Amino acid sequence: MKKINLIILFICCCSTAYAQESYLYFDWDVNIPLTNKDWIDNTSARGAKVGFRKFIGADRKFSAGLDFNWAYFDEYKPTETFPQPGGAITTDYFNEIDQFGLTASGQYYFQVGNRQHFFPYAGLGLGANHHDYIVSYNIYTDKESSWGFLARPEAGILIRIGTRRRLGAMAAVHYDYSTSKSVNYDYNNFSSVGFQLGVMLMQW
């Protein structure tokens, strides 16, 4: 009897997993740095987010998934002379930050209308972020790399284009806070606000 119950439970779980609704998204991500803006203040249009999320339960109220993010920030600095002990160095240069990260995230979906086309949501992602803090001058490069904890509250909307189509659009705004530091370039943490827009492939 016990074995029969386990088999029934396993079949139920498989059926649930098979029937689970999900979506995969590819977004363009524009980010505004909020930390140490003397070093880089420019908005980055070079960013992307890719993720996969599965709905939990039958009424599409909650989902959980994985999100991968990448962004590249840079800012040109005109020629400057830096006095050093026993000398000096003169150059123009770029400050750059190359960032990528991975989070596990959960979302709550608000009920709007007949829930056929619009799915606004709020969510939270937790994971890790990697930063390369880079100074490029002429052909030379100085770099400091670090990992940090990443927390990302996010709000957005999924838009289903047609009820019989699996292609949809997605827009979201997110705030990223990560603890990755740079001693040389004076970052105790790195935070940014991002705006993402893209497409999603729906499985429901």
Partner 1 sequence: MRLLDQLVVSTNYDTEVDFAGYSTYSMSTDTIGFVSNQNPNDTILTQLKSGYPRPVLQRVESNLNDLGYTHVQKNQNPDWRINVYVVNDYNLFQQVVYPSYYYPSYYGYGYGYGSYYAYPYVNTYATNTGSLVVEILDLRNITPDKKVKVIWGAYMGDVYSTIDLVKQSEDAIDQAFVQSPYLGK
With CB under 8 A as the contact rule, the residue among 87, 113, 164, 165 that binds partner 1 is 87
In angstroms, the CA 63 to CA 29 distance is: 21
Kindly state the DSSP code that residue 60 receives in the 8-state scheme. Answer: S
Closest distance to partner 1 from the beta carbon of 133 (Å): 17
Within 10 angstroms of residue 56's Cβ, the number of other Cβ atoms is 16
Residue 18 binds partner 1, judged by CB under 8 A = no
Alpha helices in 68-113 (DSSP H): none
Q: Interface with partner 1 by CB under 8 A: which range of 28-36, 80-88, 119-127, 156-164?
A: 80-88
Residue 4 binds partner 1, judged by CB under 8 A = no
Within 10 angstroms of residue 135's Cβ, the number of other Cβ atoms is 18
With CB under 8 A as the contact rule, the residue among 9, 89, 126, 201 that binds partner 1 is 89
Residue type (1 letter), 108: Y
Residue 80 binds partner 1, judged by CB under 8 A = no
Nearer to partner 1, 74 or 132 (CB): 74
With CB under 8 A as the contact rule, the residue among 4, 139, 163, 164 that binds partner 1 is 139
Residue 163 binds partner 1, judged by CB under 8 A = no
In angstroms, the CA 68 to CA 31 distance is: 15
CB–CB of 42/31 below 8 Å?
no
Residue 179 binds partner 1, judged by CB under 8 A = no
Q: Would you call 37 helix, strand, or coil by DSSP? A: coil
Residue 187 binds partner 1, judged by CB under 8 A = no
Residue among 173, 123, 132, 177 at smallest CA distance from 150: 177
Residue 94 binds partner 1, judged by CB under 8 A = yes
The size of the interface with partner 1 (CB under 8 A), counted in residues, is 17
Q: Which residues bind partner 1 (CB under 8 A)?
A: 76, 79, 81, 86-94, 136-140
